[in-house]
Structure 1
Amino acid sequence: MIHHLSCIADHLSTASTFDDAIEGIAMYACLSGGASRFYLAKIEKDLQVSHLADIGFDARFAAHRAYGEMVATQLMIGHPSHHSLVFIEHDREYRRGFKTNYGVADGSDWKCTILMAISPRHVASLTLPTLTEESVVDVNYFNSIRSMLSIFLKSHKEPVVKSSDGKLAVDSALQERETDSTFLTERQEIILRMIKSGDTNSAIAERMGYSESLIRQETIAIYRKLGISGRKDLDTGR
């Protein structure tokens, strides 16, 4: 256990990006020696959850906002402390809910997920190929990992962010876009792509896990930002 924590600490000491940081955690966190899966997100001021980095997830799922919202919600329910851990076993009910909520079946190799409140603004999930218990030893071990990542986040400004299309953008570019009233949020960009693919508001709501009324509001906001009146004015590429 000490060896694994030492390897993670050594990796974090040389990591320069969030992707680098979580790679080390995913590589060394599992005590059996297997690779893990890791997801990191940020809770914005408007309580929207922004995907920051991930490793080990299906490419079709990686930037799925609903997963980040699930992580944040589970940590908030009965776990108000920003030092919280939540253990979730991948039983039949979990797998059924995962497929229903995200449209992608979770791999059978994954046995347990530990949700972590890294800071008041950052949440994460660590998924392991082995079952683990909520024993004092295990809780202390995963809390040590959580603490090391918390220190890393405090000492590293967010150098890059991963947008919904998987591309990287530097902070300065992001700040310029956020001051632009025509800037589409990550959720709006995802919705826009679905609209261009011909999906209805109802289908989009079902796929993203939101209410249809919220999707309708977002589509109106998207059209306003793009300066168009509706779907018929979009260049769908068809």
Structure 2
Amino acid sequence: MISNLKRICDHLAIEKNVERAIQLIAINSCYSGNSSRLYVGRFHKNLELFHFASFGFDSQSGQDGLVRSYERKFLPLLMADSIQLDTVTFLNHDASYLKLFTSATGLNEDSMWRTTVILPLLPNYFATLSIQIELMDEGRDREYFDALRSVINLYLTLDTKASRSRRVSARIRNENLHGPRLTERQELILELIQEGKTNANIAHAMGYSESLIRQESIAIYRKLGIEGRKDLSMQAPIDESNSGDELEP
């Protein structure tokens, strides 16, 4: 398994695409013959889930649909008593787990998955990794997944460096407001706008309607005393392939 970790590190050293990086981690940490199902997300102050990246959720209903069911319905139930965990946790797919998964997602759990490993990551980040064999809480398994957690944390640290600088900028801007402060949801929306996300992208990522994101964006600009996206000093370039995005509020 150490050789698997080395391959992961070698891949991530040159990999800049987040989704591709998650795929490489899932494939190389499979702990059996094929690949793992990996979900990486984060909690905000109000414990609202936000999808970061995932791999291995393909199903008849489509990957996006299953991921949304997984994070909106299943994970809050699964992690209700384990959000504060700071150690790796093994959850074998027993009858109660399978019943919970089926009721939350509306799909039968694929029989190839045997164990889900919860990996606490950087503050507010976590990962769930479903593998194809049953695991006992043995020293060698825990040691491996602790090491894997460190690898993922290292990648997240490098990948989110620019994002953190934008959050700091948003926080400073928020503290300098003379009027109403931005809400936690508005802070997140502002961060995503600065990353170049469109209203449609943000609505999809957060699970809200596009009209709500538009309303919140207008409220953000009003509080910041600016007219729109073009006035955000640290705005990331917006994908020009999506015509009209620059005109969104």
Q: With the length of structure 1 as denominator, give the TM-score of the two structures.
A: 0.65
Shift of 1:74: 4.3
* Coordinate RMSD, CA, aligned: 3.1
* Aligned partner of 1:188 among 187, 205, 208: 208
Match of 2:97 in 1: 94
What is the 5 A alignment of 1:75-224?
75-76=82-83, 79=85, 81=86, 84-157=87-160, 171-174=194-197, 186-189=206-209, 222=212
| 1:73 and 2:80 matched | yes
How many residues align? The count is 179
Describe the SS at the equivalent of 1:76.
coil
Separation in 1, partners of 2:132, 2:68: 22
Separation in 1, partners of 2:147, 2:107: 31
Describe the SS at the equivalent of 1:88.
strand
Separation in 1, partners of 2:35, 2:205: 33
Q: Deviations over 1:127-172 (max 9, x none)?
A: 0011122101100101100111001111112889xxxxxxxx8753
| 1:45 and 2:40 matched | no
Which region of structure 1 is more displaced relative to structure 2, 62-71 or 33-42? 62-71
Q: Is the 8 A contact 1:90 1:112 kept in 2?
A: yes
Q: Is the 8 A contact 1:119 1:150 kept in 2?
A: yes
What is the 5 A alignment of 1:53-68?
53-57=53-57, 58=59, 59=63, 60-64=65-69, 65-68=72-75
Q: Percent identity among equivalent residues?
A: 24
Structure 2: 5+ residue stretches without partners = 164-191, 217-249
Give 1:27's aligned amino acid: I
Q: 1:2 to 1:184 in 2, by over 3 A?
A: closer
Q: Is the 8 A contact 2:31 2:132 kept in 1?
A: no
Q: 1:25 to 1:185 in 2, by over 3 A?
A: closer
Give 2:196's aligned amino acid: A
Match of 1:236 in 2: none
Separation in 1, partners of 2:15, 2:39: 16
Structure 1: 5+ residue stretches without partners = 161-168, 193-220, 227-238
Describe the SS at the equivalent of 1:14.
coil
Give 1:13's aligned amino acid: A
Shift of 1:32: 2.4
Q: 1:32 to 1:185 in 2, by over 3 A?
A: closer
